């Protein structure tokens, strides 16, 4: 099959795949009562500022920089064996996580306006470059956005090893109970193995859905991933040199990813019983991390978590502008706007995990740093 025909099949598959656009577009119909009117006014201001427009130039530049990063990794490995390998590990981990952010952006339709084009980016970056299922990730992440911090329905707070509520901690037995007891101290140690979990989930997804055309394409992409990242470099550099580089990179990627995603909602209130309005839920369950321009790059824009949950399809480079609208608006309508520096955000995360590990209800957040209303 020619390259053109393969690209055509990929595009055809992408065009048949649908997203829950009511989640990604921040549909005010998801809210109710006063909250719906407030959100509609906020959305009107965001549209007037032009923040829902596409950012093709930004993403073209970002893709070029990441491609150059991969070339740099190859050059370090070929021309600077030894210490070059150490630098290559750090650079490759950075580039891989940044490709992961592109997966996230494509899943939220931030890059292109069409589902097809975003899907193509997602398939290239997720299963082909990272060995992760784009299809399964989008389904899970949609559920998170629709039910953020809802104890029974948010998949991001239902984990086999970590307990995020006292009830979950009480249900653990055996070695998992011991793990939960010390989860605050072990959280970032366990994070090293996050990429293994993502890769295992990808294989389970394509095996379960092997009868569908979409999963067959993902399976092909995952096989390409293994050839590109395991077989070819092992042949060219030798497995004794390449495999340690690759696996150490995966451990660093796991810690990096968790350090970005964990502060967003962990340590924030959970929702039990009556569900609040869309506006209330997205603002009150999220935390921003005020990290400056370099931090914005490190976090892939996800440090603007309040803004991201209110308007998931706004491109990450527009997040600082979006914050200038959302933060004063929250003040206008009397909603608490949680924003911390990175150190405080991680302290709050560990504080809550340790309290839950002891079987305690952490209750309201302690005042440990900047928190604005």
pLDDT at 273 (0 to 100): 76
Q: Which of 119-128, 155-164, 269-278, 318-327 bottoms out in mean pLDDT, i.e. has the lowest?
A: 269-278
Confidence of residue 150 (pLDDT cuts 50, 70, 90): very high
Widest CA span of the chain, in angstroms?
63
Confidence of residue 35 (pLDDT cuts 50, 70, 90): low
Mean pLDDT along residues 248-258: 97
Alpha-carbon distance 23 to 195, whole Å?
Answer: 26
pLDDT at 46 (0 to 100): 98
Q: Where are the beta strands (DSSP E) in the chain?
A: 288-289, 339-340
Beta bridge partners of 337: 372
Closest CA to 368 of 360, 351, 353: 351
pLDDT at 365 (0 to 100): 53
Confidence of residue 267 (pLDDT cuts 50, 70, 90): confident
User: Does the pLDDT of residue 37 top 90, yes or no?
Assistant: no
- SS3 of the chain: helix, strand, coil, percent, to 5: 70, 0, 25
Alpha-carbon distance 1 to 9, whole Å?
Answer: 10
Averaged pLDDT of the chain = 88
Mean pLDDT along residues 197-213: 92
Confidence of residue 364 (pLDDT cuts 50, 70, 90): low
User: Does the pLDDT of residue 7 top 70, yes or no?
Assistant: no
User: Does the pLDDT of residue 1 top 80, yes or no?
Assistant: no
pLDDT at 287 (0 to 100): 96
**Helices 239-265 and 183-191, interaxial angle, to 10°?**
130
The dihedral through the CA atoms of 275, 279, 284, 287 has a sign that is: positive
Distances (CA, A) of 299 to 74, 200, 253, 322: 25, 25, 13, 16
């Amino acid at each position: 099959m020619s390259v053109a025909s393969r690209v055509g099949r990929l595009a055809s598959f992408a065009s048949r795949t649908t997203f829950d656009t009511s989640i990604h577009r921040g549909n005010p119909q998801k809210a109710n009562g006063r909250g719906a009117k407030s959100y509609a006014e906020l959305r009107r201001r965001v549209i007037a500022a032009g923040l829902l427009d596409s950012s093709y130039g930004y993403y073209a530049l970002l893709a070029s920089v990441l491609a150059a990063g991969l070339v740099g990794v190859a050059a370090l490995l070929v021309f600077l064996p030894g210490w070059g390998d150490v630098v290559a590990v750090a650079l490759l981990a950075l580039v891989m996580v940044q490709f992961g952010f592109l997966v996230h952006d494509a899943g939220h339709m931030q890059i292109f306006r069409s589902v097809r084009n975003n899907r193509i980016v997602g398939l290239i970056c997720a299963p082909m470059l990272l060995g992760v299922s784009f299809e399964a990730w989008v389904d899970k992440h949609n559920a998170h956005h629709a039910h953020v911090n809802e104890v029974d329905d948010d998949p991001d707070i239902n984990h086999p090893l970590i307990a995020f509520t006292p009830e979950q901690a009480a249900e653990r037995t055996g070695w998992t109970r011991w793990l939960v007891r010390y989860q605050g101290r072990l959280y970032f140690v366990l994070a090293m193995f996050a990429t293994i979990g993502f890769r295992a989930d990808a294989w389970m997804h394509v095996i379960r859905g092997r009868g569908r055309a979409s999963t067959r394409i993902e399976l092909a992409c995952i096989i390409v991933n293994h050839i590109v990242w395991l077989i070819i470099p092992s042949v060219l550099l030798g497995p004794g040199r390449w495999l340690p580089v690759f696996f150490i990179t995966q451990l660093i990627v796991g810690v990096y990813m968790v350090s970005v995603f964990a502060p967003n909602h962990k340590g924030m209130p959970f929702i039990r019983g009556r569900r609040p309005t869309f506006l209330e839920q997205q603002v009150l369950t999220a935390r921003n991390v005020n990290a400056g321009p370099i931090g914005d790059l490190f976090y892939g824009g996800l440090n603007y978590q309040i803004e991201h949950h209110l308007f998931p399809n706004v491109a990450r480079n527009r997040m600082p502008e979006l914050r200038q609208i959302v933060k004063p608006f929250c003040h206008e309508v009397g909603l608490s706007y949680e924003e911390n520096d990175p150190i405080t955000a991680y302290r709050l995360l560990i504080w809550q995990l340790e309290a839950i590990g002891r079987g305690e209800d952490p209750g309201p957040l302690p005042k440990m740093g900047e928190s604005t209303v």
